[in-house]
Chain A
Amino acid sequence: MAPAAASRRLPASERLRRSLGNGRVSAVLILLPPALILFTLFVILPLGESGYYSFFNWNGYGAPSDFVGLENYQRIAGHSVFHKAVGNTVKIVAISLLIQMPLALLLALLIFRKTPTNAVFRLIFFLPYILAEVAAGLIWSFVFDGNYGVTASIAQSLGMDSFFILADRDWAFVAVMTVIVWKYFGFHMMIYIAALQSVPEDLIEAGRIEGAKRLQIVRYVQIPHIKPAIIVSAFFAIIGALQVFDVIIPLTNGGPSNQTHTIVTYLYTFGLTRLNIGFGSAVGVILFVAAITVAVFYQRFFMKGDKA
């Protein structure tokens, strides 16, 4: 900031004149407020209002007046559908960490080198990620349709009865998780590929000359090197699990008998569609606390000093 340093040696009045003259103050006053206003109005204020509304029994009309204290939270805590929704969210996290990320890592290791065939596979694996979640949900609700879909064809050719997996209490969520893995493994793979490409080739070559096996190189050179990327991708998996919504609506809409809700579909179904604004806001607050907790915990334990 050379101009600022120069002006520091001038008398106060001159400094003020200059800073007005080159538009320092007016720059701040012109360029900053639009962002501050938009952000405050549509992000921070609604967030605060979530907290406020959550203490009321309110259908959204008129001003909230029926103060119920923590009753909304108590009702949520005692609602079996909410327990199911939280359980489902945990399941998505588990599937992401145990199946999706290892699969993505394996694929990344197989195709991170820049060759034409690898580029084609990379493109294919990334394809589901760029589709809208609603479109992905619709495609798979066709696949899983016991009357028409791909599973119907397969069942028929095997001589089995059609199976309506999305209408099955026990299996519907397995189907949902399949779609989630299908949709997002390419994203995690891309993160790993970007990281793997930054592992110095000499390091791998050195290992090879020392007689290290392929797996040893993976274990002792490549994986340690991309650890920051793995940590970040796990973070995205967890935060993503907290937000799953679009995919569920076309697939199961939370059914059968509320077995496949996530926290957000729960919020939408029981808060918005029934205009229980207070109740839904309380769900929103819980979601907020969960997200912040994950973020803070993660920062503390995994990203300490890690600038990667």
Chain B
Amino acid sequence: MTRGHLLRNILRVAFLCLVASFVLAPMVATVLGGFKSNAEIRTNAFALPASWNWEFYGSIVADPAFWRYLGNSMLISSVAVVLTLIVGAAAAYVFAQIKFFGSRMLFSYLLLGLMFPFATAILPLFIKVRDVGLLDTWWAVILPQTAFSLSLAILLFRTFFEQLPKELFEAAYIDGCGYVRFFWRFTLPLSAPILATVGVFVFVQSWNNFLLPLVVLNSREVFTWPLGMMQFRGEYVTEWNRTLAFVTLTLVPAIVFFLAAQKYIVAGLTGGAVKG
């Protein structure tokens, strides 16, 4: 390796480390902050804590409300994923397998959701949810979330279903297998990769969603974790260490989940994006 090469490599790594510290510093300060007394946070946000106080983390882990928030979010996200996968795949299957009058138009109609931000219709959504008596229930989050996820799901599913071998359906058809049965018995099991990609994508969106729960949920019993976290922050305004411990504890599942599902997340976000 020439000297120019070496120098360039050193510069490269130095720059990467600089950006990495910009990325990591706030997170490190957050994790450490959960162990510090407030006085210590004040004087030194970055250093390791003088003594590791586990009480702030401990009190949150021991708080049933914390687990209820996580549980609510888990339930809402899981149901939204299952609904999106089933309802979305069913519709996409029809568009991929059966040509009928108006199918192109209905397909374009269902893709309209890709065109505009969720927030556009949030007020009428609030009114609607209130009028049908779903306000302050999990369904108030699940149903609109599912509906808004359908566009992308149907688009990706249809593309995938169209690439499944046609011979398979012909063979099954001769054996007397109808469309609906074929969908359950063959299409869905064969589509595991795309189901996983869309499922992970919908899950992350739902798990992190803030605006919709903020608008349609009022009582703490049904709060999702982002709402719970903001509530907690409001209660302990002057005690950053408690809030930081709370934030850290919610980062952990996100990071674990990301590491586990990295393949699908990156494929879903960038692959889908690059393919447009």
Contact = CB atoms under 8 A, between A and B. Distances in A.
Interface of A: 1-4, 21-24, 26-28, 30-32, 34-36, 38-39, 41-47, 49-50, 53, 60, 103, 107, 110-111, 121, 124-128, 130-135, 138-140, 142-143, 145, 147-150, 152-153, 156, 182, 186-187, 190-191, 193-195, 228-229, 232-233, 236, 239, 242-243, 245-246, 249-250, 264, 267-268, 271-272, 277, 280-281, 284-285, 287-288, 291-292, 295, 303, 306-308
16 contacts: A22-B179, A31-B90, A31-B91, A31-B179, A32-B91, A42-B148, A43-B147, A47-B120, A121-B16, A127-B255, A142-B29, A150-B26, A194-B266, A246-B211, A250-B230, A267-B123
B43 A272 contact: no
Contacts of A264: 117, 119, 211
Contacts, number: 295
A308 B276 contact: yes
Contacts of B41: 148
Interface string B190-215: 00000000000000100110110001
B122 A153 contact: no
Interface string B8-19: 000010011001
B78 interface: no
A277 B255 contact: no
Interface string B258-269: 100000011001
Nearest to A246: B210
A41 B147 contact: yes
B210 A138 contact: no
User: Which of B19, B93, B128 neighbours the largest number of chain A CB atoms within 10 Å of its CB?
Assistant: B19
Contacts of B29: 142-143, 149-150
A277 B123 contact: yes
Interface stretch (B53-61, B63-71, B240-248): B240-248
Contact of A125 (B20, B106, B230): B20
Nearest to A231: B276
Contact of B46 (A42, A132, A153): A153
Given A1-B99, A246-B210, A190 B266 contact: yes
Q: Which 6 A-B pairs have the closest CB atoms?
A: A23-B178, A27-B179, A46-B121, A42-B147, A35-B91, A49-B124
B45 interface: yes
B126 A272 contact: yes
Interface of B: 12, 15-16, 19-20, 22-27, 29-30, 33, 38, 41-46, 86-88, 90-91, 93-94, 97-100, 106, 109-110, 112-113, 115-128, 130, 143-144, 146-148, 150-151, 154, 166, 169-170, 173, 176, 178-181, 183, 204, 207-208, 210-211, 215, 226, 229-230, 233, 240, 243-244, 247, 250-251, 254-255, 258, 265-266, 269-271, 273-276
A170 B23 CA distance: 24
B244 A142 contact: yes
Which secondary structure characterizes the binding site on chain A? helix
Nearest to B183: A31
Contacts of B88: 35
B125 A42 contact: yes
Given A27-B178, A130-B258, 8 more contacts: A3-B173, A43-B121, A53-B127, A135-B254, A139-B26, A139-B247, A142-B240, A142-B244
B144 to A, nearest CB: 4
B87 A249 contact: no
